[in-house]
Structure 1
Amino acid sequence: MSAGLQAETVRRQAPAAVLMVDLTTRQVVHVNGVATELAPGVTLPVHLDEWSDAASLRDLDGAELSETSHPLSRVARDEPVLGQAVSAARRSALGERREPLWVVALPLVDAPVLHDHALVVLIPLVEAAIDSLPSDLAAVADDAVGLAAAGLEASDLGGDLRDRALGATALAFTVADALDPEQPLLWVNSAFTATTGYGRDEVLGRNCRFLQGPETDPVSRGHLRDAIDRGVSASITLLNYRKDGSEFWNQVDLSPVRDAEGRVAHFVGIQTDVTVRVEAELEARRALAAEQEARADAEATRTRLSFLVEAVNRLSGTLDVAECADRLLGLVVPYLADWALLVHDDLSGAPASTVKGRHRDQRRQGEVDALAAVLPRALLDGGVADVLLGESQVRIIGGLDSTDSLEERAGYLSDLSVTDLTRALGGREALLVALPGRSTNRDVLILVRTGERKAFDDTDTTTALDLGRRAGLILDNAALYQAQARIAEVLQRSLLPELQPVAGVDAAARYQANERGAEVGGDFYELLDLGEAGLAIAVGDVTGHDILAAAAMGHLKGLLRAAAHERHQRPAAVLEHVDHLMLGLGMPTLATAVFAHVAPLADGWRLTWSSAGHPPLIVRDADGSVTALDVHHNDQLLGLAETARTQHSVDLGRGATVLAYTDGLMERRGEIFDVGLGRLVDLVTSGPDDAEELCDHLIAGTADGPRDDDTALLVVRLP
């Protein structure tokens, strides 16, 4: 094992025991705290053998050192100990255990004041290193044996052998005078000079502070100074500088050595160049910090993506613009902001049409609502206008909580009441985010943070931008859907107006679009008051389920109304005239329809009808009997060709009810016509007499599944 590698086997977490031995009396005269722990209760000075027995030192074979030629005896004979493994007893509440130690000892023959003393250091060892002690120490030991055999005294060994012994451990030793206020160095070994580059003549008599430099940690330096002042042991790693100015990390184990009077007489320093270890630790820390940062970034990205996924799911769960806006505000508060405003502008030049707000503290929601209520046009003249016009996707406004003059604040909020409300809410910084739709920005999200929260950073801005793009499209889709629904509703209401009251007649009608299409279609109904001539009833179904079908239906309905006023007493003639007009006008439309005329009789009514491929009328007499009128005489659909059509008549009593409807009320996918018709007849039989109530009864009774077709029905109860 190399000398450098040997240093790595020393367990530096545990401090070394240091003894000072008077060679003239062979007594231990000074010890540090760790040595006192090894041999508790021993009063100094004490003979080496007595101290060894008190510390229960043994060799690797388990024999008491006092019974062998042990290293402490060799120290007493002025011989250096060049490194030897021993063990000492460590006592605790759990009992006694043996701890391996590495002994280094040498006479201090050239140290002022200490020339008749020897330094003994017992260093804790890593257990795994006991069986692999360094071969270079053995070589040094051989040198010592050879010199002894040549008749040389230990004092004649000089500094070379001693320094080779200590240098082989890669540890630098120093002895400082603790009685001098400056604690000057009295002695250093060659490992110290090799490590620092300073010669003995340059360091003896000086305090070790000359190793410190501009980057030496003042806190570590303070800990070392404090230990010296208090006369206690210390183990500190700090940055030192060699003579050539190069840096190295120096682990300093400082031990006070007390004299017979209990005074700290000397400080023994064990210094180790741990640059490789410290740099490895620093690199490991940097790698750990980088890993933690990467993990934090990954976690932040995961959290951000999870937030965006949740946002899209929640916002896409409704097609109502107001509900979508509420959900958006609920998402960003408090995740991105302490309170927020959603500003909508129709870009017509008028003030913002809607401003909604949300605060994380429900107790302050009223303040946000007040701000939203008074938000002036001046806000749109500032940063919000830029975002709405597409000049900026994100804009950060700072200083919302400032007390600057109104003129200095005019760039973002130019109304004093607004700025006062903003400041009262604690607004410090606002992030304005565009919510772009398909063609333009109509919505801006204003995210506000108070002084209790950190400012917006790049991650917040990126998240807000991503959310803005997604939310803008979702809001735009919801607005588009609502606009289409509104158009469909207005169109359908215009085409299917409320029934005009007819004296003595109880009538009601319903329209329902299919559940998979727009709220508009090609089904229609009509009830015409013909005065003394009676009533006209019509119902029809233009092919298709969209706005084109509705437009064609409106055209067809106008033709039917015109023909009915001229030819109502002959329903077949009405449908024939409609055929003629459709073909003459080139209408690319097909439709089913039934037109019926109800003429008064002395004791009832005569119902005359003609059908163009339409489901049959259903009649319920006053006695409750229900009949589906003949379905075997249906003529062809309207719009195919001009042809002679048939008509049929039936007399009804007073109080009879006539039901006209389209096939969406009775047909179900995969079901034959007669089954659906039979179900509808049963519903009419069991239904109430009132026309409105009967309509609701029929709609409810056929709502057991999704409607694949539009539905129109007209109920007329004759007096």
Structure 2
Amino acid sequence: MTEMLDSGTAAGLARAELRTVLGDAPVAVLVVDLATSEVVHANDVAVQLAPDAELPARLDAWGRSAGLQDPSGVELEDTHHPLSRLLRAEGVPGQPVTALRRSEMGESREPLWMIGIPMAGAPMLDSHALVVLLSVVEEEAAAAAEAIVHQEAQLRQRAVLATGLSFTVADAREPDCPLVWVNPAFTASTGYAFDEAVGRNCRFLQGEGTDRAEIARIRAAIDAREAVVATVLNYRKDGLAFWNQVTITPIADADGVVTHFVGVQTDVSGRIFADRERDRALHAEQAARAEAESAQARLTLLAEATEAVADELEEAGARERLLALIVPDLADSAALFQLDSQGNVTDHLARHRDSAMAEETDRLAGEIRDLTPPGGLLRALLGDESIRLVSDVGSDAAREVAQGFVTDPRYLDRFEATLRVDSSMIVGLPGRDSIRDVLVLNRTADRPSFTTDDATLARELGRRTGLILENLRLYVTQSRIAQTLQRSLLPILPELDWLDVDARYLASSDDAEVGGDFYDLFEYPDGGIGVAVGDVEGHDIYAAAAMGQLKGLLRATALTQRAMPAAILEQVDQLVSHRPSGGVPPESTSRLAGSRGASERREPDRLATLSFAHLEPPRRSAIRLGRPSSRASSATSFRVDSEGGVADEPLTVQPAMSRVGLGDAAVEVLGEQRRRGPTWTLTLSSAGHPPPLTRLPDGEVVFLDPPFAQGPLLGLGMTRRRHDATFLLPAGSIVLFYTDGLIERRADRSDEAEQRLIRAAAGAPEGLGAFVDHILAELVDTHPGDAAHDDVVVVALCLHEEKVEPGVETEPGTAGS
């Protein structure tokens, strides 16, 4: 390798690597009396190299004591020994050697770089030479040194000069430690000639940019007669600044008195600038990484907060989750204020990272309601802005601004003292048209004040959560309106003399709490009873509105026309299928719809199922159930004798049957007591609705489901005739009307739903209320996850054999809605 290096390569290696020789490594320094060839002074490091040599010692003897060899391991001969050349005043511009190191671990050789310089012209040291042994701390430096030794003397001289090493000797016995000698490299690096430097303290190299603390450290080491390594900013004679790394070593005489300080100096400006550039790049990289991590944290917080709030269906829960994410990730404490349209506080929520401070934080937030200034809290806190950053809460300027936040200035003192607030951020949570929520975030002095990045995050967080909270408010408002509408459309059940009624409405499992299921029960002037149970498609406010219209049409038609159920359904179907929108003639609807927004267009007609029944209580004399309707030729009329029997022999029903179908007969008599006991007359027509169920007094359960009484759904606009079916029911029977939400389940077979209802009705206890409770418990409460997402309406009637006197208790739990 050595033979392959040319002079240019060797010089390059020297320049690149020998700068690492000096560093913070210890430097061995000898002062040699050339006249006597003796080492007269040695610093501590040199003593460690040759611990057995007693000064003064001959130079070659000292070298043998230190175990000096050339890099190849050959003992140095007198003729070629660098120290011998030094004694001939030849100088040693730079030569690699090794020294023997002894320790408890054994012996090893340490590579060194030797420089020897005669100190010609130095006062009192004119016949002396300086020997410096530098530790080679890198393999590349050792290789460079080994390469240099094989080059010409001129090349070695250039290599040494390329290291930038300069040497100085200062007199430690003089008060100001003046320089007594400098080498030519010092003049080359500083611009000061020998005569300009000698006799002066080396502080003439300092300037306004020199670090005074570092100079004080050097001065303290000199006063203590200790070695020191320092890097200071020095200035050349022409004013050019350079970074100078100085190693100052005390030299003692035989009595141990420090007589001189030897300075080894090198220009490390390139390294300093490289280090600074590296530090700058590292700092920039760290700053970029910190910013990226901070941005990622902000995005994570933003995403988590948005997701958490969006997952809630109630405002209170959304606010709780929002504050739980903000504190402590973004703030030490926070308060969220709800405002009305005038900006007044209607409610608040507060949170503190320290649970022990939760009560005080909530109390302070609660006081704001009564301290809101005129114009509302929103105007006081934000004015026309959407966010306000107060980074110095305790300053006079911040307090002056804060005076407008509340009507009692003493509140600010309590606020700052209790929560130890150092910076605050006030954020409006805007909806589509206004701000109805204000978020106040606080930090203590234990963490950095809010920044513009925090403000950007808070603004975006406020924008997102403000819309979510507004949507929740709109949902709650719409839900309340829908519930109010739904309840207003449910009838108030009349008090009837002949029967008990238990009616229930259960909202669907999707929490809509409004839909198209309905029921109605009313009494005719002649004592007859009308019962209707229906289901308009949909589970929204439009379904509820359509349901209300259908129920009104049904009741009005039934009470004014006094026709049989089939005729009533036909007329209602015509009104539902052909009604105009808002009084606008049908032919103009399409023309107007094209010129209006989608939100103003007519809601399309909805289909509906409906089961409508007419009941007549038992009579002691013959009565006529109804008159034939001109609209329904199928309406049936018949007479009942005084015992409750039927004049014409009816079709008998086998007790084992669970479904009653009339076939060609017009009247069906149910129960074994059909000729002996009081009998109710029920006439029924259906528009695609599930059939009612009856539990007879003897426990038999049957569906009232004659095929010819089942007609098409309402709203289809069909002109097909509808038909009635009439049943005679013994007193004591329970008749159950319901909507399909009671029995329908996912993946049911065709008959499973009805069989499930039959089993529940057969096993229900006595008493109308208990009967309905059992039905709902078995079909709705027991398997809620399997239930269809639909509303449930149940209307149960218990048919008495005679009038119930006012004030007489019949059975518990029979009234309900």
- TM-score normalised over the length of structure 2: 0.80
Kindly indicate whether the alpha-carbon contact (under 8 Å) linking 1:517 and 1:546 is maintained by their aligned counterparts in 2: no
Partners in 2 of 1:553 and 1:623 — Cα distance? 37
Q: Out of 425, 433, 444, which is 1:439 matched to?
A: 433
Corresponding residue of 1:467: 461
Match of 1:141 among 127, 146, 153: 153
1:130 alignment counterpart:
142
Bigger mean CA deviation after superposition, 546-555 or 382-391: 382-391
Question: CA contact under 8 A between 2:683 and 2:724: conserved in structure 1?
Answer: yes
Are positions 1:35 and 2:110 aligned together?
Answer: no
Q: What is the match of residue 696 of structure 2?
A: 621
Deviation at 1:548, TM superposition (A): 2.1
Distance 1:13 1:410, change over 3 A: closer
Q: Write the mapping of 1:5-44 to structure 2, written as runs, cut at 5 A.
A: 5=16, 7-8=18-19, 10-44=21-55
Q: Report the Cα distance in structure 2 between the residues aligned to 1:716 and 1:669, rounded to whole angstroms.
A: 29
CA distance in 2, matches of 1:123, 1:702: 90
Q: Does 1:261 align with 2:290?
A: no
Summarize deviations over 1:561-581 as a string: whole Å, max 9, x none: 223334567323432443454
What is the distance in 1 between the residues matched to 2:699 and 2:786?
28
Closer/same/farther in 2, CA of residues 417 and 647 from structure 1, 3 Å limit:
farther
CA distance change for structure 1 residues 498 and 363 in 2, over 3 Å: closer, same or farther? farther
CA distance in 1, matches of 2:154, 2:535: 118
Residues 467, 82 of structure 1: CA spacing in aligned structure 2 closer, same or farther, 3 A cutoff?
same
* Corresponding residue of 1:710: 791
- Whole-Å Cα distance in 1 between the matches of residues 235 and 545 of structure 2? 93
Q: State the distance in 1 between where 2:753 and 2:610 align.
A: 19
CA deviation map 1:48-94 (0-9, x unaligned):
12212221212223234376641122223333223222111223332
Unaligned runs of 5+ residues in structure 1 are 144-160
* One-letter identity of the residue aligned with 1:618: L
SS in 1 for 2:328: helix
> Which digits, 9 at most, give the CA deviation of each residue in 1:370-425, with x for residues without a partner?
22332146536589423888821111346655799998753222224533441342
Conserved? CA contact 1:609–1:649, under 8 Å: yes
Contact 2:539/2:790 (<8 A) preserved:
yes
Q: 1:15 to 1:85 in 2, by over 3 A?
A: same
8 Å Cα contact 1:7/1:170 also seen in 2: no
* 1:316 alignment partner, one of 298, 310, 316: 310
Q: Name the structure 1 match of 2:712.
A: 636
Looking at secondary structure, tell me which structure has more helix per residue.
1
Q: How does 1:326-365 map to 2 (within 5 A)?
A: 326-347=320-341, 349=342, 351-365=344-358
Letter in 1 for 2:140: A
Could you list the per-position Cα deviations for residues 87-127 of structure 1 after superposition, in whole angstroms to 9, with x for gaps in the alignment?
11223332221101111113223222111111111112233
1:157 corresponds to: none
Range with greater deviation from structure 2 (313-322 or 446-455): 446-455
SS of structure 2 residue aligned to 1:645: coil
1:450-478 deviation per Cα after TM superposition (whole angstroms, max 9, x unaligned): 34433211121112112111111111121
Question: Which range moved further: 485-494 or 546-555?
Answer: 546-555
Q: Which residue of the partner structure matches residue 371 of structure 1? A: 364
Q: Does 1:645 align with 2:687?
A: no
Cα deviations by residue, 1:455-502 (Å, 9 ceiling, x for unpaired):
211121112112111111111121121112111111111112454454
- Go from structure 1 to structure 2 and tell me whether the alpha carbon gap of 1:360 and 1:497 turns closer, same or farther (over 3 Å shift): farther
The amino acid across from 1:414 in the alignment is: T
Report if aligned partners of 2:429, 2:466 keep a CA contact under 8 Å in 1: yes
In structure 2, the residue matched to 1:230 is: 224
Deviations 1:671-704 (A, max 9, x none): 4543332332233223333244134223235634
Computed over aligned residues only, the root mean square deviation of the Cα atoms, in angstroms, reads 3.0
Secondary structure of the 1:492 match is helix
Q: Say which is worse superposed, 690-699 or 384-393, in terms of deviation.
A: 384-393
Task: State the 1:514 CA deviation.
Answer: 4.1
Give the equivalent residue in structure 2 for 1:70: 81
Cα contact 2:558–2:568 (8 A) shared by 1 = yes
The answer to whether the aligner puts 1:657 opposite 2:651 as a matched pair is no
* Partner residue in 1 for 2:811: none
SS at match of 1:10: helix
Letter in 2 for 1:30: H
Shift of 1:196: 0.6
8 Å contact 1:342–1:356 — kept in the other structure? yes
Taking every aligned residue pair, what percent have the same amino acid on both sides?
46
- How far apart, CA to CA, are the structure 2 residues paired with 1:417 and 1:101? 76
Q: 1:327 to 1:589 in 2, by over 3 A?
A: closer
What one-letter code is carried by the residue in structure 2 that aligns with 1:700? Answer: D
1:605 counterpart residue number:
680
Q: Say if 1:340 and 1:609 are closer, same or farther in 2 by CA, change over 3 A.
A: same
CA distance in 2, matches of 1:37, 1:197: 36
Inter-CA distance 532–427: structure 2 relative to 1 (3 Å threshold): farther
Aligned amino acid, residue 694 of structure 1: H
Counterpart secondary structure, 1:334? coil
Match of 1:194 among 159, 178, 188: 188
Correspondence for 2:637: none
Asked if the contact 1:595–1:609 (Cα under 8 Å) also holds between the matched residues in 2, the reply is yes
Aligned pair partner of 1:102 in 109, 113, 125: 113
Amino acid at match of 1:345: L
Q: CA deviation at 1:525?
A: 0.8
SS in 1 for 2:18: helix
What do residues 236-274 of structure 1 show as CA deviations (whole Å, max 9, x unaligned)? 111111111111111111111111221111111111111
Establish whether residue 86 from structure 1 lines up as the match of residue 97 from structure 2: yes
Q: TM-score, normalised to structure 1's length?
A: 0.90
Corresponding residue for residue 743 of structure 2: 666
Compared CA separation, residues 92 and 309, structure 1 to 2 (3 A): farther
Give the letter for the 2:702 counterpart.
Answer: T
Alignment map for 1:198-597 (pairs within 5 Å): 198-347=192-341, 349=342, 351-376=344-369, 378-379=371-372, 381=374, 384-386=377-379, 391-397=384-390, 401=394, 409-416=402-409, 418-425=411-418, 426-497=420-491, 499-503=493-497, 505-515=499-509, 518-530=512-524, 533-566=527-560, 570-579=564-573, 581-582=575-576, 585-586=579-580, 588=605, 590-597=607-614
Specify every segment of 5 or more residues in structure 2 that has no aligned partner in the other structure, as ranges: 1-9, 582-604, 620-677, 801-817
The C-alpha deviation readout for 1:342-395, integer Å capped at 9, x for no partner, is: 111121x37321122112222222222222332146536589423888821111
Looking at structure 2, the residues matched to 28 and 526 of structure 1 have their Cα atoms a distance apart, in angstroms, of: 125
Q: Distance in 1 between matches of 2:447 and 2:18?
A: 51
Q: Which residue of 2 aligns with 1:120?
A: 131
Change beyond 3 A, Cα 1:56–1:400: closer
Contact 1:659 1:715 in 2 (8 A): yes
**Structure 1 residues 417 and 570: CA distance shift in structure 2, 3 A:** farther
**Residue-pair matches, total:** 700
The alpha-carbon deviation at position 210 of structure 1 amounts to 0.5
Alpha-carbon distance in 2 for matches of 1:9, 1:583:
99
2:594 alignment partner in structure 1: none
Q: Which amino acid aligns with 2:240?
A: S
Deviation at 1:39, TM superposition (A): 1.3
Structure 1 contact 29–259 (Cα < 8 Å) conserved: yes
Q: CA deviation at 1:23?
A: 1.6
CA separation of 1:696 and 1:434: change in aligned 2, threshold 3 A: same
